[in-house]
């Protein structure tokens, strides 16, 4: 279960990598791979990593396979979002992907969702409160016409095509705004939709 578009947007917002219109900054401790590793994984005694110090770029024991020496590191993607990468098993992803992988590997669901586990480990109840605030804001953006892929949805290629066509419609409207001939919604709402288009493009 890879990180969803909403979860990725939340992580970018919660770590200060991106701000959004009409949404105040995140108030809790930013969720990160290393914070979750220390509090959510080592803190539960799921694995033992004597060399872990919680800072720097030192490699960590990967909890997704029988790692005997540290082989998992972190790096930032093009948006500045911290990801993990194991050079032993080859798995990589966001901190939420890491939580999902640990639950799947151990066959135990510690919280209803991997995202909730991450937030409770990194930020406590405030993290959950902030996620709920973000979720309400994010849902209002669905009026832009974008949709999320589901298990019942069409093939991913169709999903990409649908969102690409919708983005072109939005950008076409923006061109009309620039030319002074746009007759649709207000410019601010249109700019919000263009911002959401860039988020959905991350998943395509």
Task: Write down the pTM of the prediction.
Answer: 0.69
pLDDT of residue 153: 46
Q: How far is it, in rounded angstroms, from Cα 30 to Cα 27?
A: 8
pLDDT of residue 64: 94
pLDDT at 134 (0 to 100) = 92
pLDDT recorded at residue 148 = 45
Structure tokens that stand for 68 in this block: 């005997």
Using alpha carbons, select from 123, 99, 101, 104 the residue that is nearest to residue 33.
Answer: 99
Q: What is the mean pLDDT of each run of 10 residues along the chain (204 residues)?
A: 85 90 89 92 85 73 90 89 92 94 87 91 92 89 53 52 65 58 57 56 40
Closest CA to 87 of 102, 76, 74: 74
| Cβ contact 128:116 at 8 Å | yes
Give the phi and the psi of residue 3 in degrees, each rounded to 5.
-55, 130
Q: What is the pLDDT of residue 166?
A: 65
pLDDT (0 to 100) of residue 115: 92
pLDDT value for 30: 92
The answer to whether the beta carbons of residues 139 and 36 sit under 8 Å apart is no
Strands in the chain per DSSP E: 72-76, 82-86, 92-93
Burial 96-124 (b: 16+ CB within 10 A, else e): bbbbbbbbeeeeeebbebbbbbbbbbbbe
pLDDT of 69? 87
């Amino acid at each position: 279960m890879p990180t969803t578009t909403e979860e990725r947007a939340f992580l970018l917002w919660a770590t200060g990598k991106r701000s959004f219109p009409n949404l105040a900054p995140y108030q809790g401790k930013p969720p990160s791979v290393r914070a979750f590793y220390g509090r959510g994984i080592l803190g539960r005694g799921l694995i033992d990593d004597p060399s872990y110090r919680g800072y720097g770029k030192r490699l960590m024991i990967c909890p997704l396979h029988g790692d005997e020496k540290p082989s998992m590191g972190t790096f930032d993607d093009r948006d500045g979002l911290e990801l993990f990468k194991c050079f032993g098993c080859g798995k990589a992803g966001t901190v939420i992907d890491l939580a999902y992988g640990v639950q799947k590997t151990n066959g135990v669901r510690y919280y209803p969702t991997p995202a909730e586990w991450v937030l409770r480990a990194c930020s406590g109840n405030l993290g959950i409160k902030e996620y709920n605030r973000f979720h309400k804001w994010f849902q209002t953006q669905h009026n832009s016409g974008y949709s999320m892929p589901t298990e019942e949805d069409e093939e991913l290629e169709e999903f990409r095509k649908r969102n690409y066509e919708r983005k072109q419609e939005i950008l076409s409207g923006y061109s009309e705004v620039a030319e002074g001939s746009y007759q649709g919604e207000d410019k601010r709402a249109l700019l919000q939709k263009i911002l959401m288009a860039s988020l959905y493009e991350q998943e395509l």
